[in-house]
Structure 1
Amino acid sequence: MYGRGTTDAKGNLLCHLRAIAAFRDAGVDLPCSIKVVFDGEEESGSPSLPAWVRANTDLLKADAALSFDGGFGGSNRPRISFGSSGLLFVEIRARGAEQDLHSARARLVQNPAWRLIWALTQLKTPDGRIHLPGFYDAIRPVTHLEREMLEQAGWDDAAQQRDLGVTEFIDGVSGVDAHERLLFTPTCNIAGFATGWMGEGHKTVLPSRAACRLDFRLVADQDPNVLLATLRQFLDDHGCADFEMEDMGSIEASRTALDNAFADVVIDAARQVYGAQPETQPTGDASGRQGVWLGGMLGGIPAAGTGVGPPAWRGHAADEFMVLDYYRNGIRYAARIWELFGQQSLGGTS
Structure 2
Amino acid sequence: MSEQLVATLERYVEERKDSFIASLQQFLRHKSISAQNIGMEECALFLSDTMKSLGIETKILRREGAFPVVYGELKNPSATKTLLIYGHYDVQPPEPIELWDSDPFEPVIRDGKIYARGATDDKGNLWATIMAVKSLRDNEVEIPINLKFFFEGEEEIGSPNFKAYMEENKELLSANYTILCDRGIHESGRPQMYLGHKGIMSAEVKVKGAKRDVHSGQAPFIPNAAWQLVWLLNKLKNENEQIMIPGYYDDVLEPSAEDIALMEKIPFDKHEYCDIYGIRDILPGNDGVDALTSLLFTPTATINGLTAGYQGKGNKTIVPNEASVKLDFRFVKNQDPVKCAEMIRQYLQDQYNGEIEIDLGDVRTPSKVSAKAEIVQVSIEAAKEVYKQDPVVWPMLDGAGPMGLFGEILDAPAIIIGLGAPFAFANTHAPNENIGVEDYLNGIKLMAVIYYRYGKRGEA
Whether these two folds match at TM > 0.5 is yes
* 1:303 and 2:414 are equivalent in the alignment: yes
- Report if the CA contact (8 A) 2:195-2:414 is conserved: yes
Question: Among residues 266, 286, 293, which one is paired with 1:173 in the alignment?
Answer: 286
Deviation, structure 1 residue 211: 0.8
Assess, with a 3 A threshold, how the Cα gap between structure 1 residues 152 and 26 changes in structure 2: closer, same or farther. closer
| Alpha-carbon distance in structure 1 between the residues aligned to 2:216 and 2:401 | 44
| Alpha-carbon distance in structure 2 between the residues aligned to 1:135 and 1:55 | 34
| Alpha-carbon distance in structure 2 between the residues aligned to 1:264 and 1:146 | 15
Per mean C-alpha deviation after superposition, the further-off stretch among 158-167 and 224-233 is: 224-233
What amino acid does structure 2 have at the position aligned with 1:73? Answer: H
SS in 2 for 1:220: coil
Partner of 1:91: 204
**For 1:109-128, what per-residue CA distance to the aligned partner results, in whole angstroms no more than 9, with x for missing partners?**
22222222222222222333
Partner of 2:126: 13
1:1-350 counterparts in 2 under 5 A?
1-240=114-353, 242-289=355-402, 292-298=403-409, 301-311=412-422, 312-345=425-458
| Alpha-carbon distance in structure 2 between the residues aligned to 1:57 and 1:241 | 46
Per mean C-alpha deviation after superposition, the further-off stretch among 280-289 and 22-31 is: 22-31
- Report if the CA contact (8 A) 1:263-1:302 is conserved: no
Deviation, structure 1 residue 62: 1.6
| Alpha-carbon distance in structure 2 between the residues aligned to 1:39 and 1:309 | 18
Deviation, structure 1 residue 223: 3.4
Assess, with a 3 A threshold, how the Cα gap between structure 1 residues 109 and 322 changes in structure 2: closer, same or farther. closer
Deviation, structure 1 residue 185: 0.4
Deviation, structure 1 residue 198: 4.5
Per mean C-alpha deviation after superposition, the further-off stretch among 153-162 and 322-331 is: 322-331
| Alpha-carbon distance in structure 2 between the residues aligned to 1:251 and 1:240 | 30
Assess, with a 3 A threshold, how the Cα gap between structure 1 residues 243 and 274 changes in structure 2: closer, same or farther. same
SS in 2 for 1:243: strand
| Alpha-carbon distance in structure 2 between the residues aligned to 1:325 and 1:31 | 27
Deviation, structure 1 residue 137: 2.6
Assess, with a 3 A threshold, how the Cα gap between structure 1 residues 294 and 19 changes in structure 2: closer, same or farther. farther
What amino acid does structure 2 have at the position aligned with 1:213? Answer: K
Aligned length: 344
Structure 1 unaligned residues grouped into runs of 5+: none
Deviation, structure 1 residue 141: 2.9
Structure number with the bigger relative contact order (C-alpha 8 A, sep ≥ 6) is 1
Higher strand share: 2
* TM-score of the aligned structures, taking structure 1 as reference length: 0.90
* TM-score of the aligned structures, taking structure 2 as reference length: 0.70
**For 1:260-301, what per-residue CA distance to the aligned partner results, in whole angstroms no more than 9, with x for missing partners?**
222111111111011111111101111222xx4344324664
Structure 2 unaligned residues grouped into runs of 5+: 1-113
| Alpha-carbon distance in structure 2 between the residues aligned to 1:245 and 1:4 | 35
Give the CA RMSD over aligned residues.
2.2
| Alpha-carbon distance in structure 2 between the residues aligned to 1:163 and 1:51 | 39
| Alpha-carbon distance in structure 2 between the residues aligned to 1:60 and 1:345 | 24
What amino acid does structure 1 have at the position aligned with 2:229? Answer: L
- Report if the CA contact (8 A) 1:255-1:296 is conserved: no
- Report if the CA contact (8 A) 1:262-1:302 is conserved: no
- Report if the CA contact (8 A) 2:304-2:327 is conserved: yes
Per mean C-alpha deviation after superposition, the further-off stretch among 181-190 and 213-222 is: 213-222
- Report if the CA contact (8 A) 1:16-1:334 is conserved: yes
